[in-house]
Amino acid sequence: AQSVSQHNHHVILSEAASLELGCNYSYGGTVNLFWYVQYPGQHLQLLLKYFSGDPLVKGIKGFEAEFIKSKFSFNLRKPSVQWSDTAEYFCAVNVGGATNKLIFGTGTLLAVQP
């Protein structure tokens, strides 16, 4: 069965530090990849997604992610975090087919200290 791993469960950074959150998936075929963010008290919203083409994807709020097929990875990055980036970040995979079934990782809680 397909699965998604987010190895960093809790990350604490100071403002202006660089961020990289890991995401690995287990599936040998074509995948569609997503990063969602959940700010405190809010609903999940899409940060960015990858379907095909350039493996470096840019999203909202200065986030980007790189798809490395050989490593089954889709890590999220931001050069300089802000206090407002404090949130839970979820990686998700969709293996295509006839349904839009998202398989989520367990999430990474990012706390940015001012």
CB 78 within 8 A of CB 85: yes
Q: Which stretch, 18-26, 58-66, 71-79, 98-106, contacts other proteins (CB under 8 A)?
A: 98-106
CA dist 107 to 16, 63, 78, 84, 97, Å?
22, 16, 17, 18, 25
Query: Binding to other proteins by residue 77, rule CB under 8 A?
Result: no
What does the DSSP 8-state code read for residue 69? G
Query: Binding to other proteins by residue 90, rule CB under 8 A?
Result: yes
* C-beta of 17 vs 102, nearer to other proteins: 102
Of residues 1, 28, 43, 70, which one binds other proteins by CB under 8 A? 43
Give the H or E element holding residue 88.
strand 87-94
User: Phi-psi region for residue 38, left (φ > 0), alpha (ψ -120 to 50) or beta?
Assistant: beta
4 forms beta bridges with 25
Query: Binding to other proteins by residue 22, rule CB under 8 A?
Result: no
Hey, what amino acid is at 66?
A: E
Q: Which stretch, 19-27, 38-46, 63-71, 79-87, contacts other proteins (CB under 8 A)?
A: 38-46
Q: Which stretch, 13-21, 37-45, 54-62, 69-77, contacts other proteins (CB under 8 A)?
A: 37-45
Per CB under 8 A, residues contacting other proteins are: 32, 34, 36, 42-46, 49, 51, 88, 90, 94-104, 106-107, 109
